[in-house]
Chain A
Amino acid sequence: METKAFQKIYTKIIQITKATCSLRATGIGYEELAIINGRLAQVVKIIGDLVTLQVFGGTEGIPTNAEVVFMGKPPVLSVSDDLAGRFFNAFGNPIDGGPSVDGEEREIGGPSVNPVRRKQPSELIATGIAGIDLNNTIVTGQKIPFFADPDQPFNQVMAMVAMRAKADKIILGGMGLTNDDYLFYKSIFENAGALDRIISFVNTTEDPPVERLLVPDMALTAAEYFAVDKQQSVLVLLTDMTLYADALSIVSNRMDQIPSKDSMPGSLYSDLAKIYEKAVQFPDGGSITIIAVTTLSGGDITHAIPDNTGYITEGQLFLRKDSDIGKVVVDPFRSLSRLKQLVIGKKTRKDHPQVMNTAIRLFADAAQAKTKLENGFDLTDYDERTLKFGKEYSDKLLAIDVNVDIDNMLKTAWRLFAKHFTRAEVAIRSEFMEQYWKGE
C-alpha cells in the first residue's frame, strides 16, 4: 500500500494518545485507512474536520508533523487461491518471504449473512478426540471456544483438531501468539505436509497489541472467500480471543469511553458476536466453522470476556489435567456443544446419545465416590467399581491423546460398561442392550 503521487499529505497532528492521533482533514470516509509515517491507521471518529485515527502500530515516536496520507478505502484483503499455504501479518502482508498475493480486493469485516439464507448445520466434524466427538460433537458452521487456563496445552489441542478435521481449508488467526507458539504451529503445518490447505494470519507478542484487532476480520474474509466463492468447508482457528478483547479495551480506554463490567467496553458483546457469527453453514455446501481459544484467569468464567463469549458461542470446551491418569482431558461436566443434538444418533450410531449420557452419569458417580473417599467415608462395592471405571474412562476416552473414530469410541464405552457394571446399573434402552451389551 504505497502512497500515490496525487494523494494529499497532511502534516499537522493536533492530538496524540497512546493508541490514537487526531488531525484536521476533510472528505474522509468513516473506517477509512490512513498511513502515518509509514504506520497503518484507521478512522474511528470524525467530528467536523477533526479526524481521529486508531494507529495499529502504536503511537510511540510519532511526531506532530508526521506525514498522514488517507487511502480512500477501509482495510482490504486480496483474495485468491494463492492465499493457500501462506503466512501473513495482521495487515494481510506476507511474512514468509514470499511474494504478495494478487487477487480481488475485499473489504474486511463485511456484512452479515441474511439469517433466512443460512442452513441448519448438520455435518459432523470428526477430530478423533473422544472428549469432543463422543461427548461434545462439533458440527460444521458451529462456533465453539476452548475455555482454558494459560498453562493448559490449548494450542497443541487446537493444532491437533485442525490437522485431523477433514476441512478443505484451515485458517489460523493468531493474536498475541508467543513467537514459540507461532513456530510450533508453523512446524506442525509444515511437517504434516498439509501446507497447501492452511492459511495463517499471525500477530505475535512482538507486534503491537492494537494490530490484533484486524486478525479475526482478515482470517474470516479469507474464510468467506473459500466458503462462498469455492463452496469449501473452512475451519477457522482463533487464538487467543482474550487478547483480542484486551486490545479492544485498550482502544476504548484511549478514546475516553466509559468502561462497563471488568473494564471492558460496553460494546464487547456486539464486537465478539460480529466475529463469531461469521460461522455459518451455507446452503450450497460451503461452511465456516470457528474454533477459538479464550484464556481464563484462574478458571473464572464469570469474567466479562468468557461470559459474553459463552452467550455467543454454541457451547464451550474445558480442558483439565486429570491427576489420576496424569493426562489432560476434556472435562465432560463443564464442556458443552449445543449443536451436537443435530448429529448424534442421526449421523452417528443410534446408541450414541444414550451411551454418551450413561458414561457421563457413571463418571459423575465416580466423582462422588472420590469425594466420599477423600472425606474418609466407607465406600460401597458400587463406589469401588465406579472409581475403577472412572479411571479407565478418563484414560481410554477423555484423554486428549486418544485418536479413534466414533464407532470405536462407542465400542470402548460398551466394553467399559460390561467390565465394571451390571445391566441394571447401565440401564440403557433395551434394544441397544440386546445389540451391544457384551457382559453377562
Chain B
Amino acid sequence: MKKTVTNTKGKIAGIISNLVIVEVDGPVSQNEICYISLTGINLMAEVIKVFEKKVFVQVFESTRGLKVGQEVEFTGAMLEVTLGPGILSRNYDGLQHDLDKMDGVFLKRGDYTQALNFEKLWDYKPIAKAGDTVYAGDWIGEVTENVMPHKIMVPFKLSDKYTVKSVVKAGKYDVNKMVAILTDKKNKDIEVSMIQTWPVKVPIKNYKNKPRPFKLLETGVRTIDTLNPIVEGGTGFIPGPFGSGKTVLQHAISKQAEADIVIVAACGERANEVVEIFTEFPEIDDPRTGRKLMERTTIIANTSNMPVAAREASVYTAMTIAEYYRSMGLKVLLLADSTSRWAQALREMSNRMEELPGQDAFPMDLPAIISNFYSRAGFTYLNNGETGSITFIGTVSPAGGNLKEPVTESTKKAARCFYALSQQRADSKRYPAIDPIDSYSKYLEYPELQDYLRENISKDWIDKVLTAKNYLLRGKEASEQINILGDDGVPIDYHLRFWRGEVIDFVILQQDAFDDIDKQTTLERQKFLLEKVLDICETEFQFESFDEVNPYFKRVINNLKQMNYSEFKSEKFNNYLTELTSIIDERK
C-alpha cells in the first residue's frame, strides 16, 4: 500500500460499543490499521468506512473508558501477519499475537505480543544462488521447522522480476538475518530476511495456476472418504445444531487427515473446547512424523468472549498463514469452527454502522464475503512445478438448527462438500451424525477425481459408492413405508430393503471417534468394508416371515461391528470374518 505523506493522525469523535468514529487530518485507506492511545496503552483498530473527514474504525478491544478527543495514529498498513519460521505449534489470538507470551491469567487490553521468536537460531540452507532470476514466492532457502521443511521465499510483496545478487552460506541464523540480496530492474538492491509481512484480507497468489482439485484427501472418517470424499485443495462445510457433534468431527478430521500442516481457527467458540485442543494436541502421537501432532499445528484462538472484531480477523489470519505454507509446496488443512460466529461478527458491525440489513439482519454482502473467503482455498501448481494445497472445512452453527438461514445458504453456494449433521441421527446416537442422504460431495462428479479413484482404489469404485448411496435411499423409503403400513402390512422385501440400509449405516457410516481402532480407517480397509457390505446387500436371503429379518440382520451388524473394533486382518478380525461368512450362508 503506497501513501506518500507521513502518517495520518486523528482524534476520536464518537464511540458506539467497539465502533469508533475518528476525525482525521489526512488520507486514510479502507482497512488501514490505526492505534488509539488510552493512558499508556494503544488499542488496535481497523478502518471499515470513510465519510469525508470521518473515519469509522472497528476496535479489536473493549472501548471502555475511551473519550472524545483522544488521539489516533494511522499506520499506513492494513492488518498484516508476520510470516516466517516459528509459526508452527504456536497458539495465537485472532490478530496473531502469541497467547503464551502474554502475562497474567486475564487478557489485558493492548498487550500485543510478537508472533515469532527473534532470538531462536535456525539451521539455514540456501536454495537459490547468485545470478538466479526470481519472482515473488520463489524459494531462496530452507530451514527445518520442528520436523517440517520450511522454505524462505522471495517476499510476496515484491511484484517484479529480480536477480539474486548474493546469498548467505548455510549456517545458524535468527529470523531477522539478511539471507539474500536481490537486485531489481533498476539495479536497486533489496535485502531479504527470513520474515515478511502480508495483509490478511488479500489472497497470496504467487502460484502458476490453480487447477480443479483431483486428489483424494484421506480423513479416515468412513462416511466422508467412502461416500462423500473431500479432496486436496477442496472446500467443505459442516452445518449442524448444537449437540450434533460438529466439534468432535472436526477434531477427528484435524487429527487424522493426510495433511502436512494443520491450522485450526477456533472462531467464537467455547473456551473449554480450545483448552481441549491445547491439552490434547501436544499429547497426540503423529504417525506421519513420529513426533507430536502439535509440532505441525498452529491454533488461532478467538473464543466467544474475546473481542468481536478480532473474531472477524481471526479467520483471515488463519487463511493467510495457510497460504504461506501452501507456497512452500505443503498440504495444508485449515479448519474453522465456527464460520457462523464470524458472520455474526460482521452482523454486529454492520448493525452499528446502521447499514440497511439483509435477511436476519446480516449484511447484504454476506454471500460475497463468504464465497470470496472459500475461494482462497485450493490446489496449486507453484512456479517451480511443485504443488501445494489448502483444504478448508468450516463448521456452521445454524440458528435454531434450521438450514434455511443466511449463513448456511451462502456457504452452500461457496463450498463443494456439504456434510449436514442431523439432529435425528445425533438423538439416536448414530455418530458421526452426517446425514447420508442430504450430504453431498460435488467432487465425486469431477472426472478428475473419478479417474484418480479408479486408478488408486479400484475400477468400479464410483459405481460401488453410488450403489451404496442408492441402498441407503431405498432403505429410508422402506422405513417410511413400514412406519405407515406396519410391520406386517408390507412385503418381506421391504424389510430387507430397510435392513440393507441399516447395515451400511451401522457398519460404514457409524464410527466410534473414541475407539482407538475404529476412529480411523485406512483406504484399503474402507475398500474391503464397502465391498463386503455390498456383497451382503446383493445376497438373496430367504426368510419365512418378517420377524426373522430383524434378529438376523442384528447378528450380521454385530459381527461386522466387532470387525470394525479389531485390528485389520488380525486373527480376531479373521475369526469374525469366518463367523460372518457362516451367518450369511445360513440364509442363502
Contacts and interface: CB of A to CB of B under 8 A. Distances in A.
Contact of B67 (A28, A107, A266, A304): A28
A269 B344 contact: yes
Nearest to B428: A364
A113 B106 contact: yes
Nearest to B65: A29
A46 to B, nearest CB: 5
A47 B361 contact: no
Nearest to B344: A269
Contact of B102 (A26, A114, A312): A114
Contacts of B402: 302
Most chain A CB within 10 A, of B63, B105, B108, B344, is at B105
A277 B65 contact: no
Contacts of B243: 310, 315, 336
Contacts of B63: 30-31
A266 B344 contact: yes
- Of B108, B345, B400, B427, most buried by chain A (CB within 10 Å of CB) is B400
B348 interface: yes
B68 A48 contact: yes
B400 A302 contact: yes
A390 B13 CA distance: 66
A311 B242 contact: yes
Most central of A29, A47, A48, A115 by chain B CB within 10 Å: A115
Given A26-B68, A115-B278, A118-B275, A269 B105 contact: no
Interface in A280-306: 280, 282, 302-304
B91 interface: yes
Contact of A116 (B62, B67, B278, B354): B278
Contacts of B345: 270
B65 A74 contact: yes
Contact of B303 (A27, A45, A115, A311): A115
Contacts of A46: 14-16, 67-68
Nearest to A26: B68
Q: Which residue, A28, A274, A311, has most C-beta atoms of chain B within 10 A?
A: A311
A282 B105 contact: yes
Interface stretch (A157-165, A166-174, A175-183, A254-262): A254-262
A131 interface: no
Interface in B355-411: 357, 360-362, 397, 399-402
A332 B359 CA distance: 36
A31 B65 contact: yes
A17 B341 CA distance: 32
Contact of A114 (B106, B276, B360, B400): B106
Listed residue (A258, A282, A304) with the most chain B CB atoms within 10 angstroms of its CB? A258
A259 B109 contact: no
B95 to A, nearest CB: 14
Contacts of A120: 272, 275-276, 279
A257 B351 contact: yes
Interface stretch (B304-312, B413-421, B441-449): B304-312
A66 to B, nearest CB: 22
A408 interface: no
Contact of B348 (A141, A261, A267, A315): A267
B106 A314 contact: no
B304 A277 contact: yes
Interface in A28-42: 28-32
B305 A274 contact: yes
Interface in A305-327: 307-308, 310-312, 314-315
A260 B360 contact: yes
A273 interface: yes
Contact of B304 (A45, A269, A280): A269
A4 interface: no
A269 B268 CA distance: 9
B303 A333 contact: no
Interface in A20-63: 26-32, 44-49
Contacts of A15: none
Nearest to A280: B271
Interface of A: 26-32, 44-49, 74, 107, 110-121, 141-142, 228, 257-261, 266-267, 269-270, 273-274, 277-278, 280, 282, 302-304, 307-308, 310-312, 314-315, 333, 336, 339
10 closest Cβ contacts across the A-B interface? A302-B400, A273-B304, A277-B305, A260-B361, A47-B14, A310-B242, A31-B64, A112-B305, A29-B65, A116-B99
9 contacts: A30-B15, A46-B68, A112-B305, A116-B99, A120-B279, A269-B304, A273-B305, A278-B305, A311-B397
